[in-house]
Amino acid sequence: MKIQIVYCHPSQKSYTHEILEQLKSSLIKENLKFEVSDLYMMNFQTDMSKEEYDREGFVNSYLPIPNDEKEEHRKIEQSDCLIFVYPVWWSDCPAKLKGWFDRVYSVGYAYGYDESRTNIQKMKTILYGIALCTTGHPNEFLDEIGIAESMRNVMIDDRLGQRFDKKEMIILGGTSDRKKVENEHFVIVKDIAKRIKKYCALRV
Ligand SMILES: Cc1cc2nc3c(=O)[nH]c(=O)nc-3n(C[C@H](O)[C@H](O)[C@H](O)COP(=O)(O)O)c2cc1C
């Protein structure tokens, strides 16, 4: 049973980094194995090149997949659970994480699988997927203006989509007043490891 955390924030002094640390401790406490892909630390390339676009945009799945994408595929294939940890910027994930989806979700792998092409393996169905994000606005406000729903639609229904068995979006809102919300957030984060363990233990 293995968990892959895809983490996206440029600063180790951020609140989102603190959430990552809380999450890691809760996973350790539950004896769950995990690995972190820190996209900024890895300097992960998230702009799609013209060559990549020629492959993706025209469904030329016979064209080669870059090695850094293949490495992310390898990590995905070894995982039972993926957790995306990021701050919300302009009502979505940061561009770097968006670029991870643009590139890593390559055609023939994450979508448009063609059985006749044996050189590409179809992405496995991951047991549990979680989008764990922090937002400056409180949850109630994001619910009221429809942004919480749109973030859920994009992240859970589209990006995680049918590739995941169980899916969850956790919005840790109100970080503009961190002192007010952090205890509540830490309790929510602490509970994640227990839920993953309970769900995956019966299925792995
Ligand atoms: C470029 C940028 C855009 C942001 N856009 C939003 C937004 O659309 N909605 C929101 O609630 N908070 C927004 N925020 C606030 C962040 O979500 C908040 O800073 C984060 O949740 C927690 O802070 P951290 O950067 O210390 O981890 C934005 C912050 C930045 C830097």
**Mean pLDDT calculated for residue range 135-148:** 98
pLDDT at 118: 60
Q: Which atom of ligand 1 is nearest to the CA of 18?
A: 27
The response to whether residue 99 sits with its C-beta less than 6 Å from ligand 1 reads no
What CATH code would you report for 2-201? Answer: 3.40.50.360
pLDDT of 113 over the 70 cut: yes
pLDDT at 204: 79
pLDDT of 61 over the 90 cut: no
Cα 166 to ligand 1 centroid, rounded to whole Å: 27
Cα 97 to ligand 1 centroid, rounded to whole Å: 14
**Could you tell me the pLDDT band of residue 60, with boundaries at 50, 70 and 90?**
confident
pLDDT at 77: 97
Q: What is the CA radius of gyration of the chain?
A: 17
Find residue 36's DSSP bridge partners.
5
Q: What is the pLDDT of residues 118-140, one digit of tens each?
A: 678 899 999 999 999 999 999 99
Name the closest-CA residue to atom 31, ligand 1: 89
Q: Tell me what percent of the residues of the chain surpass a pLDDT of 90.
A: 89
The response to whether residue 139 sits with its C-beta less than 6 Å from ligand 1 reads no
pLDDT of 18 over the 80 cut: yes
The response to whether residue 135 sits with its C-beta less than 6 Å from ligand 1 reads yes
Q: Which two tokens stand for residue 20?
A: 């990552």
What is the C-alpha separation between 14 and 35, in angstroms, rounded?
A: 20
pTM, 2 dp: 0.97
Q: Tell me what percent of the residues of the chain surpass a pLDDT of 70.
A: 99
**Could you tell me the pLDDT band of residue 178, with boundaries at 50, 70 and 90?**
very high
**Could you tell me the pLDDT band of residue 8, with boundaries at 50, 70 and 90?**
very high
**Mean pLDDT calculated for residue range 159-183:** 97
